Structure 1
Amino acid sequence: MSDYLDVTKSLRHKIEAGDPVIGTFVKTPSPHIIEILGGTGLDFIVLDAEHAPFDVSSLDQCILAARSVNLPALVRIPNKTPDSILRVLDLGASGIIVPHIQSADDANNIVSASRYDGAGRGFSASQRAAGYGTQNAWSYTARSDESTIIIGQIEDTKGVENAASIAASDGLSGILIGPADLANSLNEKQFGGPKVTKAIDQICDSFRDSKTALGIFVSDPENIADQLNKGISFFTVSTDQALLRKAVTETSATFRKISD
Protein backbone atom coordinates (compact mmCIF):
# COMPACT_ATOMS: atom_id res chain seq x y z
CA MET A 1 0.00 0.00 0.00
CA SER A 2 2.63 2.51 1.01
CA ASP A 3 4.75 1.88 -2.08
CA TYR A 4 1.78 2.43 -4.36
CA LEU A 5 0.86 5.66 -2.58
CA ASP A 6 4.42 6.81 -3.19
CA VAL A 7 4.16 5.93 -6.89
CA THR A 8 0.85 7.77 -7.12
CA LYS A 9 2.18 10.79 -5.25
CA SER A 10 5.14 10.97 -7.63
CA LEU A 11 2.82 11.03 -10.63
CA ARG A 12 0.66 13.70 -9.01
CA HIS A 13 3.73 15.89 -8.49
CA LYS A 14 4.77 15.44 -12.12
CA ILE A 15 1.32 16.34 -13.42
CA GLU A 16 0.99 19.39 -11.18
CA ALA A 17 4.52 20.54 -12.06
CA GLY A 18 3.64 20.43 -15.76
CA ASP A 19 6.13 17.66 -16.53
CA PRO A 20 5.16 15.81 -19.73
CA VAL A 21 3.57 12.43 -18.95
CA ILE A 22 1.81 9.87 -21.10
CA GLY A 23 -0.92 7.33 -20.50
CA THR A 24 -3.60 5.50 -22.43
CA PHE A 25 -7.25 4.65 -21.98
CA VAL A 26 -7.97 1.01 -21.15
CA LYS A 27 -11.34 -0.16 -22.42
CA THR A 28 -10.85 -3.91 -22.00
CA PRO A 29 -11.71 -5.05 -18.45
CA SER A 30 -8.86 -7.54 -18.13
CA PRO A 31 -6.13 -7.58 -15.46
CA HIS A 32 -3.81 -9.25 -17.98
CA ILE A 33 -3.91 -6.13 -20.16
CA ILE A 34 -2.93 -4.05 -17.15
CA GLU A 35 -0.02 -6.32 -16.25
CA ILE A 36 1.29 -6.09 -19.82
CA LEU A 37 0.98 -2.30 -19.89
CA GLY A 38 2.98 -2.15 -16.65
CA GLY A 39 6.11 -3.00 -18.63
CA THR A 40 5.66 -0.56 -21.52
CA GLY A 41 7.00 2.69 -20.08
CA LEU A 42 3.64 4.43 -19.69
CA ASP A 43 3.35 6.87 -16.80
CA PHE A 44 -0.26 5.91 -16.08
CA ILE A 45 -3.39 4.25 -17.42
CA VAL A 46 -7.03 5.33 -17.35
CA LEU A 47 -9.63 2.62 -16.76
CA ASP A 48 -12.60 3.89 -18.74
CA ALA A 49 -15.65 3.20 -16.58
CA GLU A 50 -17.61 5.83 -18.54
CA HIS A 51 -17.52 4.30 -22.02
CA ALA A 52 -16.36 0.71 -21.49
CA PRO A 53 -17.93 -2.32 -19.74
CA PHE A 54 -16.25 -1.96 -16.34
CA ASP A 55 -18.27 -2.95 -13.30
CA VAL A 56 -17.09 -2.88 -9.68
CA SER A 57 -15.68 -6.39 -9.89
CA SER A 58 -13.62 -5.75 -13.04
CA LEU A 59 -12.40 -2.41 -11.69
CA ASP A 60 -11.35 -4.21 -8.51
CA GLN A 61 -9.32 -6.79 -10.46
CA CYS A 62 -7.73 -4.25 -12.80
CA ILE A 63 -6.74 -1.89 -9.98
CA LEU A 64 -5.22 -4.85 -8.13
CA ALA A 65 -3.24 -5.70 -11.27
CA ALA A 66 -2.07 -2.09 -11.63
CA ARG A 67 -0.90 -2.01 -8.04
CA SER A 68 0.98 -5.29 -8.55
CA VAL A 69 3.12 -3.67 -11.28
CA ASN A 70 3.27 -0.18 -9.69
CA LEU A 71 1.43 1.40 -12.62
CA PRO A 72 -0.71 4.35 -11.53
CA ALA A 73 -4.32 3.65 -12.45
CA LEU A 74 -6.80 6.48 -12.79
CA VAL A 75 -10.48 5.70 -13.30
CA ARG A 76 -12.71 7.77 -15.55
CA ILE A 77 -15.98 7.52 -13.68
CA PRO A 78 -19.35 7.85 -15.44
CA ASN A 79 -20.66 10.82 -13.45
CA LYS A 80 -19.85 13.44 -10.79
CA THR A 81 -21.58 11.79 -7.82
CA PRO A 82 -19.68 11.35 -4.51
CA ASP A 83 -20.54 7.64 -4.32
CA SER A 84 -18.87 6.98 -7.69
CA ILE A 85 -15.76 8.82 -6.50
CA LEU A 86 -15.67 7.06 -3.13
CA ARG A 87 -16.03 3.60 -4.62
CA VAL A 88 -13.05 3.73 -6.99
CA LEU A 89 -10.77 5.48 -4.49
CA ASP A 90 -11.58 2.88 -1.83
CA LEU A 91 -10.65 0.19 -4.36
CA GLY A 92 -7.18 1.73 -4.39
CA ALA A 93 -7.18 3.73 -7.63
CA SER A 94 -4.53 6.42 -7.95
CA GLY A 95 -7.18 8.98 -8.77
CA ILE A 96 -10.18 9.89 -10.84
CA ILE A 97 -11.05 11.57 -14.10
CA VAL A 98 -14.50 13.13 -13.92
CA PRO A 99 -16.41 13.96 -17.12
CA HIS A 100 -18.36 17.09 -18.00
CA ILE A 101 -16.96 19.65 -15.56
CA GLN A 102 -18.91 22.76 -16.50
CA SER A 103 -18.35 25.16 -13.60
CA ALA A 104 -16.20 26.02 -10.61
CA ASP A 105 -18.89 24.45 -8.40
CA ASP A 106 -18.46 21.15 -10.27
CA ALA A 107 -14.70 21.32 -9.70
CA ASN A 108 -15.04 22.18 -6.01
CA ASN A 109 -17.57 19.39 -5.44
CA ILE A 110 -15.40 16.63 -6.89
CA VAL A 111 -12.40 17.85 -4.90
CA SER A 112 -14.46 17.77 -1.71
CA ALA A 113 -15.72 14.25 -2.45
CA SER A 114 -12.14 13.04 -2.99
CA ARG A 115 -10.54 14.47 0.16
CA TYR A 116 -10.70 13.40 3.79
CA ASP A 117 -9.36 16.46 5.60
CA GLY A 118 -12.19 18.91 6.17
CA ALA A 119 -13.98 17.56 3.11
CA GLY A 120 -16.62 15.07 2.08
CA ARG A 121 -14.98 11.68 1.47
CA GLY A 122 -16.47 8.98 3.66
CA PHE A 123 -13.93 7.07 5.74
CA SER A 124 -13.33 3.37 6.15
CA ALA A 125 -10.08 1.70 7.15
CA SER A 126 -11.11 -1.75 5.97
CA GLN A 127 -10.71 -1.36 2.22
CA ARG A 128 -7.70 -2.03 -0.03
CA ALA A 129 -6.66 1.63 -0.19
CA ALA A 130 -6.15 1.66 3.59
CA GLY A 131 -4.34 -1.67 3.70
CA TYR A 132 -7.36 -3.61 4.96
CA GLY A 133 -7.15 -2.09 8.39
CA THR A 134 -3.39 -2.45 8.85
CA GLN A 135 -2.61 1.25 8.50
CA ASN A 136 -2.85 3.94 11.12
CA ALA A 137 -6.11 5.66 10.19
CA TRP A 138 -4.94 9.26 10.40
CA SER A 139 -1.60 8.59 8.77
CA TYR A 140 -3.44 6.90 5.92
CA THR A 141 -5.96 9.70 5.42
CA ALA A 142 -3.20 12.31 5.32
CA ARG A 143 -1.13 10.32 2.83
CA SER A 144 -4.17 9.59 0.71
CA ASP A 145 -4.99 13.30 0.47
CA GLU A 146 -1.38 14.02 -0.50
CA SER A 147 -1.36 11.44 -3.30
CA THR A 148 -4.86 11.28 -4.79
CA ILE A 149 -4.98 12.67 -8.33
CA ILE A 150 -8.14 14.59 -9.21
CA ILE A 151 -8.71 15.46 -12.85
CA GLY A 152 -11.82 16.99 -14.39
CA GLN A 153 -12.75 17.00 -18.05
CA ILE A 154 -13.77 20.07 -19.99
CA GLU A 155 -15.70 18.79 -22.97
CA ASP A 156 -18.80 21.01 -23.28
CA THR A 157 -19.48 24.58 -24.39
CA LYS A 158 -20.41 25.49 -20.80
CA GLY A 159 -17.06 24.21 -19.59
CA VAL A 160 -15.28 26.33 -22.18
CA GLU A 161 -17.32 29.40 -21.23
CA ASN A 162 -16.51 28.88 -17.54
CA ALA A 163 -12.89 27.80 -18.05
CA ALA A 164 -11.47 30.86 -16.25
CA SER A 165 -13.47 30.23 -13.08
CA ILE A 166 -12.65 26.52 -13.20
CA ALA A 167 -8.97 27.44 -13.52
CA ALA A 168 -9.25 29.64 -10.42
CA SER A 169 -10.65 26.81 -8.26
CA ASP A 170 -8.37 24.90 -5.86
CA GLY A 171 -7.59 21.22 -5.52
CA LEU A 172 -7.61 19.86 -9.05
CA SER A 173 -4.40 18.27 -10.28
CA GLY A 174 -5.42 18.73 -13.86
CA ILE A 175 -8.07 19.30 -16.50
CA LEU A 176 -8.30 16.86 -19.40
CA ILE A 177 -9.64 18.38 -22.61
CA GLY A 178 -12.01 16.10 -24.51
CA PRO A 179 -11.89 16.98 -28.22
CA ALA A 180 -14.54 14.45 -29.28
CA ASP A 181 -17.22 15.69 -26.89
CA LEU A 182 -16.22 19.27 -27.65
CA ALA A 183 -16.81 18.63 -31.33
CA ASN A 184 -20.22 17.18 -30.53
CA SER A 185 -21.11 20.02 -28.15
CA LEU A 186 -20.04 22.60 -30.74
CA ASN A 187 -21.94 20.76 -33.50
CA GLU A 188 -18.74 20.37 -35.48
CA LYS A 189 -18.32 16.94 -36.99
CA GLN A 190 -14.53 16.88 -37.01
CA PHE A 191 -12.28 16.60 -33.97
CA GLY A 192 -9.68 19.03 -35.30
CA GLY A 193 -12.06 21.51 -36.85
CA PRO A 194 -11.80 25.29 -36.39
CA LYS A 195 -14.45 25.49 -33.65
CA VAL A 196 -12.73 22.78 -31.62
CA THR A 197 -9.31 24.36 -32.14
CA LYS A 198 -10.65 27.74 -31.01
CA ALA A 199 -12.24 26.17 -27.90
CA ILE A 200 -9.00 24.39 -26.99
CA ASP A 201 -7.04 27.62 -27.41
CA GLN A 202 -9.56 29.41 -25.16
CA ILE A 203 -9.14 26.73 -22.49
CA CYS A 204 -5.35 27.00 -22.74
CA ASP A 205 -5.50 30.78 -22.37
CA SER A 206 -7.72 30.47 -19.30
CA PHE A 207 -5.32 28.03 -17.61
CA ARG A 208 -2.08 29.74 -18.61
CA ASP A 209 -1.46 31.17 -15.13
CA SER A 210 -3.33 28.46 -13.21
CA LYS A 211 -1.78 25.92 -10.84
CA THR A 212 -3.94 23.28 -12.53
CA ALA A 213 -2.22 21.35 -15.32
CA LEU A 214 -3.78 20.75 -18.71
CA GLY A 215 -4.05 17.45 -20.53
CA ILE A 216 -5.71 16.23 -23.70
CA PHE A 217 -6.66 13.05 -25.50
CA VAL A 218 -4.83 12.45 -28.78
CA SER A 219 -5.27 9.48 -31.08
CA ASP A 220 -1.66 9.53 -32.28
CA PRO A 221 1.55 10.58 -30.48
CA GLU A 222 2.57 12.51 -33.58
CA ASN A 223 0.00 15.12 -32.52
CA ILE A 224 1.63 15.81 -29.16
CA ALA A 225 4.25 18.38 -30.26
CA ASP A 226 1.66 21.01 -31.21
CA GLN A 227 -0.17 20.52 -27.91
CA LEU A 228 3.03 20.89 -25.87
CA ASN A 229 3.53 24.27 -27.46
CA LYS A 230 0.10 25.32 -26.12
CA GLY A 231 1.08 24.48 -22.55
CA ILE A 232 -0.60 21.07 -22.44
CA SER A 233 1.57 18.60 -20.57
CA PHE A 234 -0.22 15.33 -19.86
CA PHE A 235 -1.62 13.09 -22.53
CA THR A 236 -3.94 10.14 -22.90
CA VAL A 237 -2.84 8.63 -26.18
CA SER A 238 -5.18 6.25 -27.96
CA THR A 239 -6.70 3.18 -26.25
CA ASP A 240 -5.63 -0.37 -25.59
CA GLN A 241 -8.07 -1.56 -28.27
CA ALA A 242 -6.88 0.88 -30.93
CA LEU A 243 -3.22 0.12 -30.19
CA LEU A 244 -3.90 -3.62 -30.44
CA ARG A 245 -5.80 -3.21 -33.71
CA LYS A 246 -3.03 -1.04 -35.18
CA ALA A 247 -0.27 -3.49 -34.23
CA VAL A 248 -2.11 -6.54 -35.56
CA THR A 249 -3.15 -4.74 -38.76
CA GLU A 250 0.47 -3.75 -39.40
CA THR A 251 1.65 -7.30 -38.66
CA SER A 252 -0.95 -8.79 -41.03
CA ALA A 253 -0.03 -6.32 -43.77
CA THR A 254 3.67 -7.15 -43.41
CA PHE A 255 2.89 -10.86 -43.63
CA ARG A 256 0.77 -10.40 -46.76
CA LYS A 257 3.50 -8.33 -48.40
CA ILE A 258 6.12 -10.99 -47.74
CA SER A 259 3.99 -14.04 -48.55
CA ASP A 260 2.15 -12.84 -51.66
Structure 2
Amino acid sequence: MLTSNRLRQQLAQQQTVFGLIASVPVPIMVEMIAYAGFDFVIIDMEHVMINPETVEHMIRAAEQSGITPLVRIPEINAKVILRVLDSGAMGIVIPQVETKEQIEAVIQAAKYFPIGQRSMNSGRPSVFGRDNLVDYMDRANQEIMIVPMIETVKGVEHIHKILSVKGVDMVLEGAADLSQSYGVPWQTEHPHVRQALDHIQQVAADQQIPYCAIPRQPDQYDYWQGKGVQAYVLGDERGIAFRALQSKLAQFPVASAIPSKEQSHNYK
Protein backbone atom coordinates (compact mmCIF):
# COMPACT_ATOMS: atom_id res chain seq x y z
CA MET A 1 0.00 0.00 0.00
CA LEU A 2 1.04 3.61 -0.49
CA THR A 3 2.71 4.93 2.65
CA SER A 4 4.56 8.12 3.49
CA ASN A 5 7.74 8.38 1.44
CA ARG A 6 10.44 8.08 4.07
CA LEU A 7 13.19 9.14 1.66
CA ARG A 8 11.32 12.33 0.79
CA GLN A 9 10.87 13.06 4.49
CA GLN A 10 14.55 12.47 5.25
CA LEU A 11 15.63 14.82 2.48
CA ALA A 12 13.17 17.48 3.67
CA GLN A 13 14.69 17.17 7.14
CA GLN A 14 18.19 17.54 5.64
CA GLN A 15 19.27 14.10 6.78
CA THR A 16 22.08 12.27 5.01
CA VAL A 17 20.74 9.24 3.14
CA PHE A 18 22.40 6.31 1.41
CA GLY A 19 21.03 4.18 -1.40
CA LEU A 20 22.11 1.23 -3.49
CA ILE A 21 21.19 0.05 -6.97
CA ALA A 22 19.65 -3.43 -6.95
CA SER A 23 21.03 -5.18 -10.03
CA VAL A 24 20.43 -8.76 -8.89
CA PRO A 25 16.74 -9.34 -9.66
CA VAL A 26 15.68 -11.21 -6.53
CA PRO A 27 13.66 -9.86 -3.58
CA ILE A 28 16.05 -11.20 -0.95
CA MET A 29 18.75 -8.80 -2.16
CA VAL A 30 16.43 -5.87 -1.43
CA GLU A 31 15.91 -7.22 2.09
CA MET A 32 19.67 -7.55 2.57
CA ILE A 33 20.22 -3.96 1.42
CA ALA A 34 17.53 -2.76 3.81
CA TYR A 35 18.77 -4.70 6.82
CA ALA A 36 22.34 -3.57 6.10
CA GLY A 37 21.11 -0.08 6.93
CA PHE A 38 20.53 1.66 3.60
CA ASP A 39 17.73 4.21 3.31
CA PHE A 40 16.59 3.59 -0.25
CA VAL A 41 17.05 1.15 -3.10
CA ILE A 42 16.91 1.72 -6.85
CA ILE A 43 15.55 -1.40 -8.54
CA ASP A 44 17.22 -1.49 -11.95
CA MET A 45 15.21 -2.18 -15.08
CA GLU A 46 17.65 -0.39 -17.39
CA HIS A 47 20.65 -2.72 -17.31
CA VAL A 48 18.94 -5.86 -16.02
CA MET A 49 16.66 -8.42 -17.66
CA ILE A 50 13.77 -8.47 -15.21
CA ASN A 51 10.10 -9.37 -15.46
CA PRO A 52 7.27 -7.25 -13.99
CA GLU A 53 6.34 -9.84 -11.36
CA THR A 54 9.89 -9.78 -9.99
CA VAL A 55 9.85 -5.99 -9.83
CA GLU A 56 6.64 -6.14 -7.79
CA HIS A 57 8.10 -8.76 -5.44
CA MET A 58 11.22 -6.61 -4.96
CA ILE A 59 9.04 -3.60 -4.16
CA ARG A 60 7.08 -5.73 -1.70
CA ALA A 61 10.35 -6.82 -0.06
CA ALA A 62 11.31 -3.14 0.30
CA GLU A 63 7.97 -2.32 1.90
CA GLN A 64 8.29 -5.16 4.39
CA SER A 65 11.87 -4.30 5.34
CA GLY A 66 11.33 -0.55 5.68
CA ILE A 67 13.41 0.80 2.79
CA THR A 68 12.14 3.25 0.15
CA PRO A 69 11.84 1.54 -3.28
CA LEU A 70 12.61 3.56 -6.40
CA VAL A 71 12.69 1.97 -9.84
CA ARG A 72 15.01 2.95 -12.69
CA ILE A 73 12.97 2.49 -15.85
CA PRO A 74 14.64 1.40 -19.12
CA GLU A 75 13.10 4.24 -21.14
CA ILE A 76 10.40 6.88 -20.97
CA ASN A 77 7.34 4.80 -21.63
CA ALA A 78 3.96 5.68 -20.08
CA LYS A 79 2.88 2.04 -19.78
CA VAL A 80 6.09 0.99 -18.04
CA ILE A 81 5.81 3.92 -15.62
CA LEU A 82 2.17 3.06 -14.92
CA ARG A 83 2.88 -0.58 -14.16
CA VAL A 84 5.87 0.23 -11.96
CA LEU A 85 3.84 2.69 -9.90
CA ASP A 86 0.81 0.39 -9.75
CA SER A 87 3.22 -2.22 -8.33
CA GLY A 88 3.98 0.15 -5.46
CA ALA A 89 7.18 1.98 -6.41
CA MET A 90 7.68 5.20 -4.46
CA GLY A 91 9.61 6.91 -7.24
CA ILE A 92 10.80 6.76 -10.82
CA VAL A 93 14.47 7.16 -11.80
CA ILE A 94 14.81 8.23 -15.43
CA PRO A 95 18.12 7.54 -17.22
CA GLN A 96 19.66 9.66 -19.97
CA VAL A 97 17.52 12.77 -19.43
CA GLU A 98 18.44 15.53 -21.85
CA THR A 99 15.41 17.84 -22.14
CA LYS A 100 12.66 19.28 -19.98
CA GLU A 101 10.10 17.75 -22.34
CA GLN A 102 11.24 14.28 -21.25
CA ILE A 103 10.59 15.13 -17.60
CA GLU A 104 7.25 16.68 -18.45
CA ALA A 105 6.27 13.43 -20.19
CA VAL A 106 7.26 11.39 -17.14
CA ILE A 107 5.25 13.64 -14.82
CA GLN A 108 2.21 13.31 -17.07
CA ALA A 109 2.51 9.52 -16.84
CA ALA A 110 3.37 9.36 -13.13
CA LYS A 111 0.97 11.89 -11.60
CA TYR A 112 -2.80 11.98 -11.40
CA PHE A 113 -5.05 14.93 -12.28
CA PRO A 114 -4.62 17.89 -11.90
CA ILE A 115 -0.84 17.44 -12.30
CA GLY A 116 -0.79 14.63 -14.85
CA GLN A 117 -2.91 11.99 -16.52
CA ARG A 118 -1.79 8.72 -14.90
CA SER A 119 -4.35 6.03 -15.62
CA MET A 120 -6.53 5.34 -12.59
CA ASN A 121 -6.53 1.94 -10.93
CA SER A 122 -7.55 0.46 -7.58
CA GLY A 123 -4.65 -1.96 -7.23
CA ARG A 124 -2.23 -2.70 -4.43
CA PRO A 125 -1.05 0.90 -3.69
CA SER A 126 -4.64 1.86 -2.77
CA VAL A 127 -5.16 -1.51 -1.03
CA PHE A 128 -7.39 -2.67 -3.90
CA GLY A 129 -9.88 0.12 -3.37
CA ARG A 130 -10.14 -0.15 0.41
CA ASP A 131 -8.80 3.39 0.75
CA ASN A 132 -10.73 6.37 -0.58
CA LEU A 133 -9.52 6.55 -4.17
CA VAL A 134 -9.71 10.35 -4.45
CA ASP A 135 -7.63 10.68 -1.27
CA TYR A 136 -5.23 8.08 -2.60
CA MET A 137 -4.71 10.05 -5.83
CA ASP A 138 -3.83 13.17 -3.84
CA ARG A 139 -1.41 11.25 -1.60
CA ALA A 140 0.21 9.55 -4.59
CA ASN A 141 0.82 12.93 -6.24
CA GLN A 142 2.56 14.09 -3.08
CA GLU A 143 4.59 10.98 -2.30
CA ILE A 144 5.81 9.67 -5.69
CA MET A 145 9.31 10.98 -6.49
CA ILE A 146 10.61 11.95 -9.93
CA VAL A 147 14.40 11.55 -10.25
CA PRO A 148 16.17 12.37 -13.55
CA MET A 149 19.67 11.07 -14.23
CA ILE A 150 22.03 13.43 -16.08
CA GLU A 151 24.39 11.28 -18.14
CA THR A 152 25.17 13.19 -21.35
CA VAL A 153 26.72 16.47 -22.46
CA LYS A 154 23.31 17.54 -23.76
CA GLY A 155 21.75 16.85 -20.38
CA VAL A 156 24.38 19.02 -18.69
CA GLU A 157 23.80 21.82 -21.19
CA HIS A 158 20.04 21.73 -20.53
CA ILE A 159 20.20 21.21 -16.77
CA HIS A 160 18.63 24.60 -15.94
CA LYS A 161 15.56 23.81 -18.04
CA ILE A 162 15.34 20.21 -16.81
CA LEU A 163 15.34 21.21 -13.16
CA SER A 164 12.96 24.08 -13.78
CA VAL A 165 10.12 21.59 -14.32
CA LYS A 166 7.90 21.54 -11.25
CA GLY A 167 7.81 18.06 -9.79
CA VAL A 168 11.48 17.07 -9.93
CA ASP A 169 12.33 15.74 -6.46
CA MET A 170 16.00 14.79 -6.77
CA VAL A 171 18.65 14.65 -9.50
CA LEU A 172 21.07 11.73 -9.78
CA GLU A 173 24.47 11.98 -11.41
CA GLY A 174 25.64 9.50 -14.02
CA ALA A 175 29.39 10.05 -14.20
CA ALA A 176 30.12 6.79 -16.03
CA ASP A 177 27.93 7.47 -19.06
CA LEU A 178 28.83 11.14 -18.80
CA SER A 179 32.51 10.28 -19.21
CA GLN A 180 31.68 8.43 -22.42
CA SER A 181 29.59 11.36 -23.65
CA TYR A 182 32.63 13.60 -23.15
CA GLY A 183 34.83 11.14 -25.07
CA VAL A 184 36.75 9.83 -22.06
CA PRO A 185 35.05 6.49 -21.21
CA TRP A 186 35.32 5.39 -17.56
CA GLN A 187 37.48 8.41 -16.67
CA THR A 188 35.00 9.62 -14.07
CA GLU A 189 37.64 11.86 -12.51
CA HIS A 190 38.44 13.61 -15.78
CA PRO A 191 38.26 17.43 -15.43
CA HIS A 192 35.40 17.66 -17.96
CA VAL A 193 33.34 15.15 -15.98
CA ARG A 194 34.14 16.74 -12.62
CA GLN A 195 33.22 20.19 -13.92
CA ALA A 196 29.96 18.83 -15.30
CA LEU A 197 29.03 17.21 -11.98
CA ASP A 198 29.87 20.40 -10.11
CA HIS A 199 27.66 22.34 -12.51
CA ILE A 200 24.73 19.94 -12.07
CA GLN A 201 25.05 20.11 -8.29
CA GLN A 202 25.23 23.89 -8.26
CA VAL A 203 22.13 24.28 -10.43
CA ALA A 204 20.29 21.77 -8.22
CA ALA A 205 21.31 23.71 -5.11
CA ASP A 206 20.12 26.96 -6.69
CA GLN A 207 16.77 25.31 -7.47
CA GLN A 208 16.64 23.75 -3.96
CA ILE A 209 16.49 20.26 -5.44
CA PRO A 210 18.50 17.51 -3.70
CA TYR A 211 21.52 16.31 -5.66
CA CYS A 212 22.44 12.62 -5.35
CA ALA A 213 26.11 11.78 -5.81
CA ILE A 214 27.73 8.42 -6.52
CA PRO A 215 31.05 8.61 -4.63
CA ARG A 216 33.51 6.04 -5.92
CA GLN A 217 36.21 6.87 -3.36
CA PRO A 218 35.97 8.09 0.26
CA ASP A 219 37.50 11.47 -0.66
CA GLN A 220 34.65 12.04 -3.12
CA TYR A 221 32.18 11.57 -0.28
CA ASP A 222 34.09 14.15 1.75
CA TYR A 223 34.06 16.51 -1.22
CA TRP A 224 30.30 16.31 -1.74
CA GLN A 225 29.62 16.57 1.97
CA GLY A 226 31.58 19.80 1.98
CA LYS A 227 29.19 21.12 -0.67
CA GLY A 228 26.15 20.23 1.40
CA VAL A 229 25.08 17.12 -0.53
CA GLN A 230 22.77 14.85 1.49
CA ALA A 231 22.04 11.91 -0.83
CA TYR A 232 24.43 9.21 -1.99
CA VAL A 233 24.19 6.04 -4.07
CA LEU A 234 27.06 3.70 -3.20
CA GLY A 235 27.07 1.71 -6.45
CA ASP A 236 25.24 -1.57 -6.93
CA GLU A 237 25.07 -4.70 -4.82
CA ARG A 238 26.41 -6.78 -7.70
CA GLY A 239 29.75 -4.95 -7.77
CA ILE A 240 29.96 -4.89 -3.98
CA ALA A 241 29.27 -8.62 -3.79
CA PHE A 242 31.87 -9.39 -6.48
CA ARG A 243 34.59 -7.42 -4.69
CA ALA A 244 33.65 -9.02 -1.37
CA LEU A 245 33.95 -12.46 -2.95
CA GLN A 246 37.35 -11.60 -4.39
CA SER A 247 38.50 -10.25 -1.04
CA LYS A 248 37.33 -13.37 0.78
CA LEU A 249 39.09 -15.68 -1.66
CA ALA A 250 42.31 -13.66 -1.41
CA GLN A 251 42.51 -14.48 2.30
CA PHE A 252 43.27 -18.11 1.50
CA PRO A 253 46.11 -19.83 -0.45
CA VAL A 254 43.76 -21.06 -3.14
CA ALA A 255 46.49 -21.45 -5.75
CA SER A 256 47.89 -24.51 -3.95
CA ALA A 257 44.49 -26.15 -3.98
CA ILE A 258 44.14 -25.94 -7.76
CA PRO A 259 45.55 -29.04 -9.52
CA SER A 260 48.43 -28.39 -11.87
CA LYS A 261 48.28 -29.69 -15.44
CA GLU A 262 50.42 -32.63 -14.42
CA GLN A 263 48.22 -33.44 -11.43
CA SER A 264 45.03 -33.12 -13.46
CA HIS A 265 46.14 -35.95 -15.74
CA ASN A 266 46.04 -38.28 -12.70
CA TYR A 267 42.31 -37.63 -12.32
CA LYS A 268 41.42 -38.96 -15.74
Give the total of aligned pairs. 254
Q: Which residue identity is paired with 2:128?
A: Y
Indicate the residue corresponding to 1:237 in structure 2.
234
CA RMSD in angstroms, aligned pairs only:
2.0
In the TM superposition, 1:139-158 aligns within 5 A as: 139-158=135-154
Question: 1:64: Cα distance to partner?
Answer: 1.4
**Structure 1 unaligned runs (5+)?**
none
**Separation (CA, whole Å) in 2 of partners of 1:255 and 1:38:** 30
Matched, 1:224 2:210: no
Distance in 2, matches of 1:191 and 1:36, equals: 28
Distance (Å, rounded) in 1 between the aligned partners of 2:164 and 2:130: 38
Q: Aligned to 2:249, which of 240, 247, 252?
A: 252
Q: 4+ residue stretches of structure 1 with deviation over 6 A?
A: none
CA–CA distance in 2 between the matches of 1:108 and 1:231?
28
Aligned residues of 2:171 and 2:204 also touching (Cα < 8 A): no
Deviation string for 1:186-205 (max 9, x for gaps)? 11121111110111122123
Report the Cα offset of residue 109 of structure 1: 2.1
SS of 2:252's equivalent?
helix
For 2:73 and 2:105, the matched residues in 1 are separated by 15
Task: Kindly report which structure 2 residues correspond to 1:23-42, keeping only aligned pairs within 5 A, or say none.
Answer: 23-42=19-38
Of residues 220-229 and 139-148 in structure 1, the stretch that sits farther from structure 2 once superposed is: 220-229
User: Does the 8 Å contact 1:220/1:238 carry over to 2?
Assistant: no
Deviation at 1:14, TM superposition (A): 2.4
Aligned match of 1:167: 163
Partner of 1:193: 190
**Cα pair 2:24 2:237 within 8 Å, conserved:** yes
Higher CA-based Rg = 2
Looking at structure 2, the residues matched to 208 and 136 of structure 1 have their Cα atoms a distance apart, in angstroms, of 37
TM-score (norm 2): 0.88
CA contact (8 A) 1:27 1:48 kept: yes
Whose relative contact order is higher, 1 or 2, with alpha carbons under 8 Å and at least 6 apart?
1
Task: Report the secondary structure of 1:68's partner residue.
Answer: helix
* Aligned partners of 1:204 and 1:231 also within 8 Å: no
**2: distance between equivalents of 1:58 and 1:219?**
29
How far residue 67 of structure 1 moved from its aligned partner, in angstroms, is 1.4
Corresponding position of 1:214: 211
Matched, 1:14 2:22: no
Structure 1 stretch displaced more, 230-239 or 10-19:
10-19
Give SS of 1:75's match.
Answer: strand
Residue type of the partner of 2:68? P
Per the alignment, residue 203 of structure 1 pairs with 200
Q: Which residue of 2 aligns with 1:59?
A: 55
Contact kept in structure 1, 2:99 and 2:162, CA below 8 Å: yes
